[in-house]
Amino acid sequence: MRESAASSQTPLEARSPFELRVDLGTDVPETDFRAALASGDVGFVHSFTTGSAVDGPGVRVVVWTAGCMWRCLYCHNPDTWTMSNGMPVTVEKAVEELRKYRHGLKVMAGGLTISGGEPLMQHRFAMKLTRAAREMGVHTAIETNGYYGNRLSDDDMDGIDLVLLGIKAWGPERHRELTGMDIAPTIELARRLAARRRPIWVRFVLVPGLTDDPAEIASIARFAADLGTVERVEVLPFHQLGRFKWERLGLKYSLEHTAPPTADAVERVRAVFREVGLTAY
Ligand code: SF4
């Protein structure tokens, strides 16, 4: 597959995931897109970042994949929604990049995290990269909203060291309002992972007025505790760092007047998770 003109000029490594990147794969013919998805030999990638301390244990290389079927109102990377915004990257090239950091990642008890966007939209690419990383002895994590969890076989799940599972809301209607999609597949993936005793970190974004309903949070906490394999819960305060992307992409942003939660509010939510026996940060 040839590179698009835009992607050939853009470095794979970004300064941060907040870098706006668009149209890096628009020159790629539709048939090449389909072939890439079918084989997993090529992925569409927003960027790589290195040195992340917030995307799984230790210090990590993060591959931000392009493409997401959800439309979370608070999404801070809407440029990752469209696969054609990502640059085509072969598995070999991604592995070559990762290889540069493998010793450091081990020393810093870190690894590779595949995030997005939604990595399971390109599950074959994600799994090929995960397998290659593990063969190098690199710890692997996938951050997912869980919607395409049924694309993962049991063997696939056993081959991922850690799943960072976003649970955005609990009630089906609330979930649909917030993300545009159903929560049921996310719950199903969580249960399948738990049944195979796979480690999970739950990620929950606290947005004042949107996800701060105490009953909803208590339900998520009970569900997470009952899974039995949730090692930690991360309560992430909503922020406005992605707002400029919505504006630059001409998307209607509805949270312009929403302030980040106070530190006390975040601590109160963490306490709800701790009350059911979970470790929460
Ligand atoms: S699942 Fe993640 S990438 Fe997709 S819309 Fe929601 S926050 Fe954005």
Q: At residue 112, what is the residue type? A: L
% pLDDT > 70, the chain:
95
Hey, what are 9's tokens? 């000029």
10-14, 100-104, 133-137, 277-281: which range is least confident on average? 10-14
Question: Does residue 125 have a pLDDT over 80?
Answer: yes
Task: Report how far residue 4's alpha carbon sits from residue 158's, in angstroms, rounded to the nearest whole number.
Answer: 35
Task: Report how far residue 131's alpha carbon sits from residue 142's, in angstroms, rounded to the nearest whole number.
Answer: 12
32-36, 69-73, 106-110, 219-223: which range is least confident on average? 32-36
Closest CA to 124 of 36, 193, 185: 36
C-beta 116 within 6 A of ligand 1: yes
Q: At residue 239, what is the residue type? A: H
CA 116 to ligand 1 center in whole angstroms: 8
Of 217 and 24, more confident:
217
Sorting pLDDT into bands at 50, 70 and 90, what band is 2?
low
C-beta 4 within 6 A of ligand 1: no
Atom number of ligand 1 nearest to Cα 77: 8
What's the confidence (pLDDT) of residue 143?
98
Q: At residue 232, what is the residue type? A: R
CA 165 to ligand 1 center in whole angstroms: 12
C-beta 75 within 6 A of ligand 1: yes
CA 75 to ligand 1 center in whole angstroms: 5
CA 149 to ligand 1 center in whole angstroms: 15
Q: Region 95-103: what's the mean pLDDT?
A: 95
What's the confidence (pLDDT) of residue 26?
73
C-beta 206 within 6 A of ligand 1: no
Sorting pLDDT into bands at 50, 70 and 90, what band is 7?
low
What's the confidence (pLDDT) of residue 1?
58
C-beta 186 within 6 A of ligand 1: no
What's the confidence (pLDDT) of residue 29?
82
Q: Region 64-83: what's the mean pLDDT?
A: 95
Of 190 and 19, more confident:
190
Q: At residue 100, what is the residue type? A: K
Task: Report how far residue 207's alpha carbon sits from residue 42's, in angstroms, rounded to the nearest whole number.
Answer: 35
What's the confidence (pLDDT) of residue 11?
77
Which protein residue has the closest C-alpha to ligand 1 atom 6? Answer: 72
Hey, what are 232's tokens? 């930690």
Hey, what are 90's tokens? 């072969």
- By residue count, the chain amounts to 281
Question: Does residue 98 have a pLDDT over 70?
Answer: yes
Question: Does residue 24 have a pLDDT over 90?
Answer: no
Q: Tens digit of pLDDT for each residue in 166-182?
A: 999 999 999 999 999 99
Sorting pLDDT into bands at 50, 70 and 90, what band is 30?
confident
Q: What is the crossing angle of helices 123-135 and 91-107, to 10°?
A: 50
Q: Say if CB 83 and CB 121 are below 8 A apart.
A: yes
Which protein residue has the closest C-alpha to ligand 1 atom 2? Answer: 117
Average pLDDT, the chain: 93
Q: Cα 144 to the chain's mean position, in Å?
A: 4
Task: Report how far residue 76's alpha carbon sits from residue 80's, in angstroms, rounded to the nearest whole number.
Answer: 9
Helix (H, G, I), strand (E, B) or coil at 78: helix
Question: Does residue 100 have a pLDDT over 80?
Answer: yes
Q: At residue 220, what is the residue type? A: I
Closest CA to 78 of 93, 94, 67: 67
Closest CA to 32 of 95, 90, 92: 90
Of 252 and 7, more confident:
252
Q: Where are the alpha helices (H) located in the chain, listed in sequence order?
A: 5-9, 30-39, 91-107, 123-135, 154-158, 172-179, 184-195, 214-227, 243-248, 263-275
Q: What's the CA angle centered on 10, arms 8 and 12, to 5 degrees? A: 100
C-beta 80 within 6 A of ligand 1: yes
Q: Tens digit of pLDDT for each residue in 130-162?
A: 999 999 999 999 999 999 999 999 999 999 999
Sorting pLDDT into bands at 50, 70 and 90, what band is 200?
very high
CA 243 to ligand 1 center in whole angstroms: 14
Q: Say if CB 163 and CB 194 are below 8 A apart.
A: no
